[in-house]
Amino acid sequence: TVVVIDFGGQYNQLIARRVREANVYCVVLPYSKTAEEIRAYSPKGIIFTGGPNSVYDENAPKVDPGVFELGVPVLGICYGAQMMSMMLGGCVRRAATREYGVIDVRLGKSPIFNDIEGKQECLMSHTDRIEEVPEGFEVVAYTDDCPIAAFQDTGRKFYGVQFHPEVNHTPFGSTMIRNFLYRVCGCHGDWNMADYARKYISYASEKIGDKKVLCALSGGVDSSVAAVLLHKAIGKQLICIFVDHGLLRKNEGDEVEKIFREQFDINLIRVNCAERFLNRLSGVADPEQKRKIIGEEFIRVFEEEAKKIGKIDYLVQGTIYPDVIESGAGDASVIKSHHNVGGLPDYVDFKEIIEPLRNLFKDEVRKLGEELEIPKHLVWRQPFPGPGLAVRCIGEITEPRLNILKDADAIFREEIEKAGLQKEINQYFAVITDMRSVGVMGDERTYDYTIALRAVTTTDFMTGEWARIPYEVLDTVSRRIVNEVKHVNRIVYDITGKPPATIEWE
Ligand code: XMP
């Protein structure tokens, strides 16, 4: 295990992902953990992340100094490097100019720069800089504005870099991280999803024994992968309740059911309650209220079904790692907890929750899904909001408008895939607006709905740009939707980034 200590920087999860991409398991811990708590992980290496603070601020987060006595290699990145330098007796000051952007860095001799030569591009983003390295350290990289861009003490195996090796803007960064992991920490790089699956399956079958486990399936990737994983461990002792609220994409519910039943022979109860959801949503136009109703109703349906089953022992949740990482900045005790379906059921009689994906990032969940032989098209589906198409049907949801949306969305996705753009664009979907406008078809006046197309490129879904889809593709989509889907006479393309817009319309 490698321990990533979080100081609240924006790329923290990216660091953890880079480590795992090097097939080394890692955990992200808040900086408030003590050296003893960190030692309990038996780390082979420790990485300090960047962070928004200045090391000499009164409340600047600091690692427990005992961490430097564990005899474990340390890599400090940006704020992490400055903090290490300061805590070990170096000096950090505000620089005359903020260094920001992709900058040439000259690399010297270091185990972490093995196979990386001379001048390289890297992403710099700092206001403070290291003025003096602590005793025992040598400087091994510099830029025009930053005389100390990397430093090391090869004896104690402490390394610091001012730049960000974890981002794509630093092309040599992943090699550097691998060098640190393999050459300095002695990691083997043998952690992978096949292994994870094997270990989890044997752990779960032992832990669960002959007990009963219940899983709420939303139809999305996470809960599907969690269910299949547990099914491999305990077979028919797993009961899945698939609450189909009718707000999934076209044919999606049927596809999920088919795979579950035919490929895996999973114990599945599908509750078709589209009508019930539509009734509850009738007359409701406010986005937040829509979300709330769907979350609550999902739980209610689930509870009703669970009651019929009676006592169970475990409840499965598809929680993934980004949902549980404790924040390093601010109040470290707050755990981000994003339950897609709106929280836990109050009334389900169980003794424990199991979260088989709790330690995995989204990409890893998908890889795990592939290992488990869930078909690629299901595993690599795009992110889909918990409230489903409800937040893409602007204003009040009605069945006819929902059906228009499903058809238009299916056409858009089909054409994007035909054009081979599905990998380049990170999320793409149709939205049905609550507006009608005048058009002409044949010789007839029409007064019909407007469909908006939304497509974004993003790495983290926190910010994004609208995708530059070729005009010909947009043209084909527009023509097909208007010709094939009744009651649509106008197509618009959303050309706003996030911020200021969000990816979803509601
Ligand atoms: P926004 O619209 O906030 O969306 O820019 C960012 C990403 O989050 C997805 N999204 C959700 N995912 N439950 C989810 O699991 C939700 O309630 C939810 N709302 C938005 C959205 O699809 C995009 O990928």
pLDDT per residue of the chain (506 residues) written in tens, 0 to 9: 999 999 988 888 889 999 999 999 999 999 999 999 999 999 999 999 999 899 988 889 999 999 999 999 999 999 999 999 999 999 999 988 889 999 999 999 999 999 998 999 999 999 999 999 999 999 999 999 999 999 999 999 999 999 999 998 899 999 999 999 999 999 999 999 999 999 999 999 999 999 999 999 888 899 999 999 999 999 999 999 999 999 999 999 999 999 999 999 999 999 999 999 999 999 999 999 999 999 899 989 998 999 999 889 999 988 888 777 754 443 333 322 333 444 566 666 778 889 999 989 888 999 999 999 999 989 998 888 888 999 999 999 999 999 999 999 999 999 999 999 998 999 999 999 999 999 999 899 999 999 999 999 987 787 889 999 999 999 999 999 999 999 999 999 999 998 899 999 99
Instruction: Report how far apart, in Å, the C-alpha atoms of 384 and of each of 98, 155, 220, 259, 402 are.
Output: 39, 49, 7, 19, 16
**Residue 501 located in a structural domain:** no
185 is catalytic: no
- 91-107 and 138-142 beta bridge pairing: antiparallel
Q: How far is the CA of 505 from the centre of ligand 1 (A)?
A: 10
Q: Rounded distance, CA 404 to CA 408, Å?
A: 6
What's the total number of domains in the chain?
3
Same domain, 99 and 38: yes
Tell me whether residue 327 is annotated as binding.
no
Which of 124, 153, 184 is where one domain is finished? Answer: 184
Which of 150, 184, 218 is where one domain is finished? Answer: 184
Same domain, 357 and 285: yes
- Preceding omega of 499 cis (within 30 degrees of 0): yes
**Residue 391 located in a structural domain:** no
Same domain, 340 and 238: yes
CATH number (domain holding residue 430):
3.30.300.10
**Residue 417 located in a structural domain:** yes
**Residue 390 located in a structural domain:** no
ipTM of the complex: 0.96
Give residue 39's domain range.
2-184
Report phi then psi at 449, rounded to 5: -80, 155
Same domain, 365 and 446: no
Same domain, 340 and 317: yes
Q: Dump strand ranges (E) for 212-320.
A: 213-217, 238-244, 267-272, 314-316
pTM: 0.82
Which of 346, 379, 412 is where one domain is finished? Answer: 379
**Residue 466 located in a structural domain:** yes
78 is catalytic: yes
Tell me whether residue 174 is annotated as binding.
no
- Point out the catalytic residue in the list 99, 166, 252, 305: 166
Helix (H) or strand (E) holding 297: helix 287-309
Same domain, 421 and 348: no
**Residue 500 located in a structural domain:** no
Same domain, 205 and 329: yes
Same domain, 246 and 325: yes
Same domain, 302 and 244: yes
**Residue 455 located in a structural domain:** yes
- Point out the catalytic residue in the list 26, 146, 164, 185: 164
Which residues surround ligand 1 with Cβ inside 6 Å? 340, 383, 385-387, 427, 461, 498, 502-504
Spatial neighbors of 499 by CB under 8 A, at least 6 apart, are 463
273 is catalytic: no
**Residue 386 located in a structural domain:** no
Same domain, 231 and 129: no
CATH number (domain holding residue 6):
3.40.50.880
